[in-house]
């Protein structure tokens, strides 16, 4: 195989490259926009053929004809607070269209990242067998991802394998590059290191206690294992949720972080900023029946096991995966 991983120096992408390397795959093109960030550190322990800037890569597509077998498209602007919609549209929608068209012409595999943000408030549920046209994302990021999902659904010419994955709340090593979009595990660990406590938002919904807001937290290693399974099953196509299928509370997550650090629990609740309250999801949980129907009963880390591995193997010692 010869594999392109866009976003290959970022969070999920670099973890995927690690897992591919561990499986013996080294013929990998890493596509990203590292610039003046520290994402280059995620490449130091990886084996790959070439790093290509994301803008230069589109110009290189034709020269790679007949060589690349898989494009795994993890690259995107994933900030839910990004206000420049023109940038989101170009980066998340138009760029993805170019890759789809190339993979369709070449007859190769395209596995791409969608997002659970396409589900918006969740009022329509989190069912990946339902009509995606009925979804109403709450932010420009989610809408840019939905636009591509809808566009892909209409195409008559498709890559040999075409799979979109609606990631839920992913956490794990190599997310230091994500800034405000880093997981609550990452932020909790840093807060505990600095202050000995974790701050969580109070609930502003009568059905949820403070810290009782629920998310489907999934460990990044499970994401990578799922993508590896899809590579092994080229007959699988479609748009799938990718979470654990089991929602857990932010309080559970904070407690798991304290336990992994071997420290007593100390959680403080603070008011949610006004500008977030109208767009806040109190519950997300992936319906995983469609995924399991094609890839069987892949197991996932429990929240406690995933957080323990993350904290003790990576955050604590400051290691890259």
Query: Helix 250-261 vs helix 184-195: angle between axes, to the nearest 10 degrees?
Result: 50
Nearest to 320, CA basis, from 228, 227, 220, 238: 220
Selected catalytic residue, list 54, 178, 197, 290: 178
Residues in the chain, total: 321
Rounded to the nearest 10°, the torsion over CA 180, 142, 59, 154 is 170
Q: Tell me how far apart the alpha carbons of residues 177 and 180 are, in angstroms, rounded to a whole number.
A: 9
Asked if 295 and 229 touch (Cβ cutoff 8 Å), the reply is yes
178 catalytic per annotation: yes
Selected catalytic residue, list 29, 48, 141, 171: 141
Please provide the DSSP assignment of 145-206 as one string.
HHHHHHHHHH-SS--SEEEEEEE-EEE-TT-GGGGGGS-HHHHHHHHHHHHS-EEEEPP-ST
Q: Tell me how far apart the alpha carbons of residues 16 and 130 are, in angstroms, rounded to a whole number.
A: 29
Asked if 148 and 162 touch (Cβ cutoff 8 Å), the reply is no
Q: Phi first, then psi: what are they for 88, rounded to 5°? A: -60, -45
221 catalytic per annotation: no
Residues with a known catalytic role: 141, 178
């Amino acid at each position: 195989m010869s594999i392109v991983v866009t976003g290959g120096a970022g969070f999920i992408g670099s973890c995927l490259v690690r897992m591919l390397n561990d499986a013996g795959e080294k013929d990998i093109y890493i596509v990203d926009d590292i610039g003046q960030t520290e994402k280059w550190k995620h490449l130091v322990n990886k084996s790959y053929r070439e790093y290509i800037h994301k803008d230069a890569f589109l110009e290189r597509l034709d020269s790679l004809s007949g060589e690349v077998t898989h494009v795994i498209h993890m690259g995107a602007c994933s900030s839910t607070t990004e206000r420049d919609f023109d940038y989101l549209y170009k980066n998340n929608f138009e760029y993805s269209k170019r890759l789809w068209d190339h993979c369709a012409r070449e007859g190769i595999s395209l596995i791409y990242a969608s997002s659970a943000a396409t589900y918006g408030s969740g009022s329509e549920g989190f069912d990946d067998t339902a009509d995606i046209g009925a979804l109403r994302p709450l932010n420009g990021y989610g809408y840019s991802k939905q636009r591509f999902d809808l566009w892909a659904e209409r195409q008559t010419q498709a890559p040999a394998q075409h799979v979109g994955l609606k990631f839920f709340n992913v956490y794990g090593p190599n997310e230091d590059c994500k800034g405000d979009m880093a997981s609550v595990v990452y932020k909790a660990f840093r807060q505990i290191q600095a202050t000995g406590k974790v701050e969580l938002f109070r609930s502003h919904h009568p059905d949820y206690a403070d810290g009782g807001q629920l998310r489907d937290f999934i460990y990044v290693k499970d994401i990578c294992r799922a993508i590896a399974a899809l590579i092994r099953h080229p007959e699988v196509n479609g748009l799938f949720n990718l979470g654990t299928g089991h929602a857990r509370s932010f309080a559970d997550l904070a407690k798991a972080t304290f336990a992994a650090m071997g420290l007593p629990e100390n959680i403080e609740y603070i008011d949610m900023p006004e500008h977030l309250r109208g767009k806040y999801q109190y519950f997300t949980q992936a319906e995983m029946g469609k995924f399991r129907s094609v890839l069987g009963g892949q197991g996932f880390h429990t929240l406690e096991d995933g957080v323990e591995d993350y904290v003790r193997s990576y955050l604590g010692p400051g290691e890259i995966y």
